[in-house]
Amino acid sequence: MEGRTWIAVLVKEPGSAKTRLAAALTPAERRSLAEECALRVLRTARGVAPTLAVCGGPEAERLAASAGVEAVVEDEQRGQNPAGARGLEAVAVRGAPACLLLSADLPLVDAEGLRRLLARADAEPAPVAVAVPALGRTGTNALYLRPVGGFALQFGDRSLPRFAAEARRAGRRFAVHDEPSLALDLDEPDDLVTLAGIRDRSASGLHP
């Protein structure tokens, strides 16, 4: 699949994910939610572009296998930026000219949204970085890079302005792509309320 954009999904161990939801969900509920989101993201990504999963451990690796996605397993979970760097290295070895780094905790992800993002990003002149912001925050839920090297990852709190600054440092065009299906990540209890409201409106036939 040399010459095609790859997607690298960053998958934490389900048992250690969603700790900031502890006030709203039991440990079993948090694990189940993490697994549900990761499987949805992995299966959706696999249907859109060549995909691999950067897995934080054996449980995440099993999720990737059940979704039919190749896994790269970290020796230990060291955070999203080392995981992302591992993903970029893995797709570079496979000849990818570009990579989309994608969070695994996006409950609304769909194929159409991913295709819109990739079409927009692939049309931008290289070198380029395209970021998808998190709903209501200055975080980043997805990052497209072409080429895949020479860019320091900045995931974490208030990452969007840091990605913009890194693009300037690296001499890359920087673009922000607002994509509703990728905007909601489940980090805080309020995110669960937002998700429930979107699903209720969808069930009623109303637009989110």
> Is the pLDDT score of 189 beyond 80?
no
User: HEC profile for the chain?
Assistant: CCCCCEEEEEECCHHHCCHHHCCCCCHHHHHHHHHHHHHHHHHHHHCCCCEEEEECCHHHHHHHHHCCCEEEECCCCCCHHHHHHHHHHHHHHCCCCCEEEEECCCCCCCHHHHHHHHHHHHHCCCCEEEEEECCCCCCEEEEEEECCCCCCCCCCCCHHHHHHHHHHHHCCEEEECCCHHHHCCCCCHHHHHHHHHHHHHHHCCCCC
Gap between the Cα atoms of 133 and 150, Å rounded = 22
Percent of the chain with pLDDT over 90: 72
Q: How confident is the model at residue 198 (pLDDT cuts 50, 70, 90)?
A: low
State the total domains in the chain. Answer: 1
Asked if pLDDT for residue 39 goes beyond 80, the answer is yes
Instruction: Enter the tokens of residue 18.
Output: 């969603």
Q: How confident is the model at residue 138 (pLDDT cuts 50, 70, 90)?
A: confident
Rg (CA), the chain: 16
Joined together, the tokens standing for residue 22 give 């502890």
Residue 208 lies in a domain: no
Q: Minimal CA–CA distance to 139: which of 108, 184, 109?
A: 184
- Looking at residues 13-24, what average pLDDT do you find? 73
CATH number at 81 reads 3.90.550.10
pLDDT at 128 exceeding the cut of 60 = yes
Residue 1 lies in a domain: no
Band the pLDDT of 21: cuts 50, 70, 90.
Answer: confident
* 188 is a domain residue: yes
- pLDDT score for 203: 55
Q: What is the pLDDT of residue 201?
A: 63
Which residue is listed with tokens 């300037």?
168
Say if residue 205's pLDDT is above 70.
Answer: no
Q: Is residue 70 in some structural domain?
A: yes
Q: State which residues form the domain around 12.
A: 6-203
In degrees, rounded to 5, the angle at the alpha carbon of residue 180 between the alpha carbons of residues 179 and 185 is 100
Does any domain span residue 173? yes
Whether residue 72 is contained in a domain is answered as yes
Q: pLDDT digits over 67-95, tens only?
A: 999 999 998 888 999 999 999 999 999 99
User: What confidence tier does 200 reach under pLDDT thresholds 50, 70, 90?
Assistant: low
Q: Taking 60 as the threshold, does the pLDDT of residue 157 lie above it?
A: yes
Does the pTM surpass 0.85? The reply is yes
Confidence class of residue 127 from pLDDT cuts 50, 70 and 90?
very high
Q: Mind listing the pLDDT tens digit for each residue in 41-72?
A: 999 999 999 999 999 999 999 999 999 999 99
